[in-house]
Amino acid sequence: MATSVNKQWWKESVIYQIYPRSFNDSNGDGVGDLPGIIEKLDYLQHLGIDVIWLCPFYSSPNDDNGYDISDYYGVLNEFGTIEDVEKLLEEAQKRNIKIIIDLVVNHSSDEHQWFVESRKSKDNPYRDYYIWHPPVDGKAPNNWVSFFSGSAWQLDEATGEYYLHLFTKKQPDLNWENDNLRKEIYDMMHFWLQKGVAGFRMDVIPLISKKPNLPSFPAGFDGNFPEFYASGPRVHEFLKEMNREVLSKYDIMTVGEGIGVKQEEVNAYVGQSSNELNMVFHFGHMFLDRQTDDMLEWKQWSLVEFKEVFEKWEKALGNEGWGSLFLGNHDFPRIVSRFGNDEAYRVESAKLIGTLLFTLKGTPYIYQGDEIGMTNVAYESMDDYNDVQTLNAFKEFLANGGSAEVFLPKAHLSSRDNARTPVQWDNSNQAGFTTGTPWLKVNPNYKEINVAQAVEDENSIFNYYRKLIQLRKRHEVLVYGDTDIIDKPNTKIYAYTRTLEDKQVFVVLNFSAENTEFQLPQNLAVKVEADKVMLSNYPVVPHTGKENLSLKPYEGRVYLLF
């Protein structure tokens, strides 16, 4: 059967994620804001992106930096006004940039009017908008844990019942079983779509349907609680309803944060005939270097496992679904510090990782600052950390007899604040992010790593990203072609072809700090030669594929074979 490619604008787009608090501060209060984003739209247009994913900008007490929303129609004062949102949409549109926004509807803030009402009494009309349960034997209803340490239940004095919070106790879970609640959420989605947003990134969306009767983790539970919480029995019914009532009425894109989604069920969420979402993020590669029982504890990861993650997801999606590609976001360490080498080979390895991001199959998502190779930060004191996940884990660590000295290196490796340090715009004070005092300290390496430098330097990571984006736009095979891995067991080299009808691209990436030889299979060896290299992070020396390819540390090449 000939492969029929189902073309869509969102498959061909490059997405850029903005975490507003850390992006650009326009008024010197130390907090990034909406006018600050508008100031940088020309920069984003120059980079060549098509869509911005804007993280939450709504009213929020900021217990979890905006992922705890107290008014879905309001704009956080620190970020600006609704007029600023409208202006941002308008200015972006002038530059052919679309904007998708974060939909955070698994939970709200405890300061949302709904919850203020809900907690008042058992017969309040909003009681059932949240998940309440009386104590069982004087204790929490079950043994569920929060993503951010401790029990997922909080006893509320007013009525003597517990409410469920899978995240912080200021993020009570909404009860999607309630028809009125769902209706209110759909109305709110229409409000933003009518303002001109181009779709949604949906926070922890697989968690909206809970297991009936809220059973405890079973005996011998493997500790994979995201998977346990995800994909409850009504999740697809809810998403189909949302699609029917809202999404299907607009030409938009949607991407769900696919936490806990298994490969075998992914097309139930994103398959063309499912009528739910367009894409989900999978997290397989985000946990290869973490201990399953301790998110902050690092373990050695292997390139072979890393390749397998992408291979399996591409296979699971097949021609029915479509993938999203990300290597980092506001919740994870910086990609060059994590998968590359942020010391001796920062520039080379950041370009190598970028090459992977733009040449695998799926829609690529850039996280702000990765296009200039921003790195992890290593604050000297726990006082400098802000992220609630890090701080809760730290409290728990201290309570169990740990110390700050032992905890700090874990925070250096794993804290979400690594990704949240202010974007480094230039080498002036505070990296040009603010004229005031930034809400989170800037990374001291801003004098060397910053946008102003990167834009000027033709060999910068930034200019390499521009070339990658252009390359992907010029060659459909890089968007729609299927991936075949070559020499999968190779522990240093990630090599693959992308093939679409009569077009083929070959990508070879040395994920090691050593000079490495790579032997091509016969069928490729005859096609590979230096003048077919379209892009490389090192100068191309004459070669053919018949001898071994000699790759320098973190060298990556993209060949157009025919």
Look at residue 25 and give the partner it binds from Ca ion, ligand TEU, none, a contact being a CB closer than 5 to 8 Å depending on partner kind.
Ca ion
Look at residue 167 and give the partner it binds from ligand TEU, Ca ion, none, a contact being a CB closer than 5 to 8 Å depending on partner kind.
ligand TEU
Provide, rounded to whole angstroms, the least separation between the CB of residue 442 and Ca ion: 15
Closer residue to ligand TEU, CB minimum distance, 59 or 504: 59
Q: Are 252 and 193 in contact (CB under 8 A)?
A: yes
CA gap 132, 155 in Å, rounded: 9
Please tell me the number of Cα atoms within 13 Å of 191 on its side-chain side.
12
Q: Which residues contact 255 (CB under 8 A, 6 or more apart)?
A: 53, 100, 199, 200, 201, 202, 277, 278, 279, 280, 281, 324, 363
293 annotated active-site: no
Catalytic residue selected from 63, 203, 370, 371: 203
Look at residue 259 and give the partner it binds from Ca ion, ligand TEU, none, a contact being a CB closer than 5 to 8 Å depending on partner kind.
ligand TEU
- Chain residues binding ligand TEU by CB under 6 A are 64, 67, 104, 147, 167, 203-204, 257, 259, 295, 330-331, 389, 416
Q: Are 536 and 560 in contact (CB under 8 A)?
A: no
Catalytic residue selected from 102, 257, 342, 555: 257
Closer residue to ligand TEU, CB minimum distance, 129 or 464: 129
Closer residue to ligand TEU, CB minimum distance, 293 or 458: 293
Provide, rounded to whole angstroms, the least separation between the CB of residue 356 and Ca ion: 34
Residue 3 CB neighbours (<10 A)? 12
Provide, rounded to whole angstroms, the least separation between the CB of residue 88 and Ca ion: 14
Q: Are 508 and 355 in contact (CB under 8 A)?
A: no
User: Looking at 23-31, 45-53, 91-99, 297-305, which segment touches Ca ion (CB under 5 A)?
Assistant: 23-31
Burial 82-95 (b: 16+ CB within 10 A, else e): eebbebbbeebeee
Nearest Cα residue to 490 out of 470, 515, 519: 519
User: Looking at 20-28, 245-253, 266-274, 288-296, which segment touches Ca ion (CB under 5 A)?
Assistant: 20-28
Residue 136 — φ and ψ, nearest 5°?
Answer: -115, 120
Closer residue to ligand TEU, CB minimum distance, 311 or 331: 331
Look at residue 31 and give the partner it binds from ligand TEU, Ca ion, none, a contact being a CB closer than 5 to 8 Å depending on partner kind.
Ca ion
> HEC states along 257-306?
ECCCCCHHHHHHHHCHHHCCCCEEECCHHHCCCEECCEEEEECCCCHHHH
Closer residue to ligand TEU, CB minimum distance, 72 or 518: 72
Q: Are 328 and 283 in contact (CB under 8 A)?
A: no
Residue 151, SS3?
strand
78 annotated active-site: no
Look at residue 29 and give the partner it binds from ligand TEU, Ca ion, none, a contact being a CB closer than 5 to 8 Å depending on partner kind.
Ca ion
Give the interface with Ca ion as residue ranges (CB under 5 A). Answer: 25, 27, 29, 31, 33
Indicate which residues carry an active-site annotation.
203, 257
